[in-house]
């Protein structure tokens, strides 16, 4: 279900959709996820390009597998709440003002991660061994040493990777 690019500010009308699995509220003026938490079967949420700054209303939602928060108000403090979603497989944090990405290591089922245009502190990048696809375009990624061997898709244009770092790509057999 998508209400993307609309002027909708209140999700109260969705409360009766108890079987809703996918919700796209991207590019809306929505700033609070409290009403989303009332959707017990929600698997995927796209809240990109919104004023969302807290994941706290979603903490009890164990069904989420896909979360898109690109260009939202999510910061390092909100990122710590991600540990409440251990089964998250896809996460988009591109264009968010994040510095510390160490909380990502606790997402043991994460397969797809987008951190494009994120100027994180490089030594905070901790990635789970399950990660398969990483989009770190125009980010502060400066080494490939922290990447798990499971990587099969990698976007690193516009990063500080050196030619020497790129020679280490041979260890990624699935690329």
State what percent of residues in the chain have pLDDT above 70: 100
Is residue 13 packed enough to be buried (19+ CB in 10 Å), middle (13-18) or exposed (0-12)? exposed
Average pLDDT over residues 8-16: 88
Residue 112, helix vs strand vs coil: strand
What is residue 42's predicted lDDT score, i.e. its pLDDT? 95
Q: Quick one: average pLDDT of 142-151? A: 84
Task: Kindly indicate the confidence band of residue 172, based on its pLDDT and cuts at 50, 70 and 90.
Answer: confident
pLDDT band at 142 (very low <50, low <70, confident <90, very high): confident
Contacts of residue 164, Cβ cutoff 8 Å, sequence gap at least 6: none
What is the mean pLDDT of the segment spanning 13-21?
91
* 168 has a pLDDT exceeding 80: no
DSSP single-letter state for residue 146: T
Q: Residue 170: which residues within 8 A CB-CB, separation 6 or more?
A: none
Q: What is the mean pLDDT of the chain?
A: 92
pLDDT (tens digit per residue) in 123-139: 888 899 999 999 999 99
Q: Which residues contact 148 (CB under 8 A, 6 or more apart)?
A: 127, 128, 129, 130, 131
Structure tokens at 154: 């990698």
| pLDDT exceeds 90 at position 146 | no
Q: What is the pTM of this model?
A: 0.94
| Rounded-to-integer distance, Cα 155 and Cα 158, Å | 9
Scan for tokens 């260009």, then name that residue: 71
Q: What is the mean pLDDT of residues 50-60?
A: 93
């Amino acid at each position: 279900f998508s209400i993307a690019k609309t002027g909708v500010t209140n999700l109260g009308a969705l409360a009766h959709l108890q079987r809703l699995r996918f919700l796209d509220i991207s590019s809306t003026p929505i700033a609070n996820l409290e009403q989303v938490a009332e959707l017990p079967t929600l698997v995927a949420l796209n809240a990109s390009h919104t004023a969302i700054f807290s994941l706290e209303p979603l903490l009890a939602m164990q069904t989420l597998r896909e979360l898109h928060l690109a260009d939202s108000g999510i910061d390092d403090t909100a990122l710590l709440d991600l540990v409440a979603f251990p089964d998250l497989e896809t996460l988009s944090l591109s264009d968010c003002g994040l510095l510390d990405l160490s909380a990502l290591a606790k997402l043991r089922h994460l397969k797809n991660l987008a951190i494009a245009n994120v100027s994180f502190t490089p030594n905070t990048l901790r990635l789970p061994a399950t990660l398969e696809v990483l989009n770190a375009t125009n980010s502060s990624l400066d080494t490939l040493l922290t990447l798990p061997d499971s990587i099969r898709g990698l976007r690193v244009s516009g990063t500080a990777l050196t030619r020497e770092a790129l020679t280490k790509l041979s260890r990624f057999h699935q690329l």
